[in-house]
Structure 1
Amino acid sequence: MLHIASLFAVVAMIGSAARWRHAASKDFPRCREQVCSFYGVFALNLELDAHDRKILALLQENARYSYSEIGRRIHLTSPAVAERIKRLEESGVIQGYSVRLNLRALGYSFEALVQVTVESHEALDAWAATRPEVLALHATTGNHCALLRLALKNPEHLQACLSSLGKIGKTSTAMVLSSHWEHRSRLPADQLG
């Protein structure tokens, strides 16, 4: 079975935070659902076999592989591959497909990581949704409640973002000098379930 590591510990931690914030509330179960939904906590109960793991590994390598190419590599028919991929998509294991862009080629010369402390996650979500320079928004633990990854054209662009963001929360910013790993886009097949 595929399980998210420490799911129950995370739910318990979130439950504790929700109880603390809403001690007087009778709506704890609803509150826990909202918090879990905000933080993206969910459970998958899907059995992955060796073929599923190989399909996931190949799609991570190149999401544009055809069903027939995947089938040729793992010794399955195209319809069998298509059915497995459909099941992986419907179950949420495969959440989508994307393109990696060269940000420098598009005029974004640097990136910044901005830790944010806000009273309202909804305000931060709304702010980030309107800002094309936001590459990622993560809810975090620690001294700050969120981490933003921004692609920026110049220092003035960063200043404008921070000024706007400062209206809804406190920030702490780090400039990315270099990236040794842009992102780990692939999990080894043996780690996929």
Structure 2
Amino acid sequence: MDNLDKQILLVLQEKGRISMTELGKEVALSQPAVTERVRRMEEKGIIDHYRAIVRPGKINKPITAFVLFQTKGCESFVQFCNESNDVIELHRISGQYNFLVKVVTETLQALEVAINEMGTFGDSTTLIVLSSPIENDKLIPLIKN
């Protein structure tokens, strides 16, 4: 990865729907050259996929919480989280807890229900988000020489 790839990634993270022509103009490359670089990064798995970022509050899910979760039944807990409409992220972590779960709900009561349902798999600590000063920030790639 060189500096041009880094510039391309930074632009794509900010403007995922940009045309290859416009992307080329932003990084001073021709449309075919920038298209080829993007294609290579997609093939290498550097660019995983493209998607829209949905603001939970705009779809009537204003409550966000992180649940630190300890379970002995990891596989069944992962399956439960996969099937839940409220779980939007699940991370296996080290330490006292073995999962970090990001949950979005429409009300505090719905959050309580979600936590109670998770409780059948183990113990948890819930952290309710008050605000998010930084969300979905760009990843800045390191350039290898």
Structure 2 residue identity aligned to 1:84: R
Q: Are residue 53 (structure 1) and residue 16 (structure 2) matched?
A: no
Using the alignment, how far apart are the partners of 2:135 and 2:22 within structure 1? 28
1:92-131 superposed matches below 5 A: 92-131=45-84
Which residue in 1 is equivalent to 2:94? 141
Structure 2 unaligned regions, length at least 5: none
Match of 1:74 among 27, 41, 52: 27
Using the alignment, how far apart are the partners of 1:69 and 1:122 within structure 2? 45
Which residue in 2 is equivalent to 1:11? none
Deviations 1:144-177 (A, max 9, x none): 0010111111122112111211111211111111
**1:101 to partner: Cα distance:** 1.3
1:34-53 superposed matches below 5 A: 48-53=1-6
Using the alignment, how far apart are the partners of 1:78 and 1:117 within structure 2? 50
Structure 1 unaligned regions, length at least 5: 1-47
> What SS class does the counterpart of residue 76 from structure 1 fall into?
coil
Deviations 1:3-28 (A, max 9, x none): xxxxxxxxxxxxxxxxxxxxxxxxxx
| TM-score of the aligned structures, taking structure 2 as reference length | 0.91
Using the alignment, how far apart are the partners of 2:59 and 2:26 within structure 1? 35
Using the alignment, how far apart are the partners of 2:24 and 2:136 within structure 1? 28
Compute the RMSD of aligned alpha carbons.
Answer: 1.3
Which residue in 1 is equivalent to 2:121? 168
Using the alignment, how far apart are the partners of 2:85 and 2:51 within structure 1? 16
**1:113 to partner: Cα distance:** 0.8
Using the alignment, how far apart are the partners of 1:120 and 1:173 within structure 2? 19
Structure 1 residue identity aligned to 2:30: T
Which residue in 2 is equivalent to 1:13? none
Using the alignment, how far apart are the partners of 2:42 and 2:132 within structure 1? 31
Q: Which runs of 4+ in 1 moved over 6 A?
A: none
Moved more, 70-79 or 143-152: 70-79
**1:187 to partner: Cα distance:** 2.9
Aligned length: 143
1:2-41 superposed matches below 5 A: none
Bigger fraction of residues in strand? 2
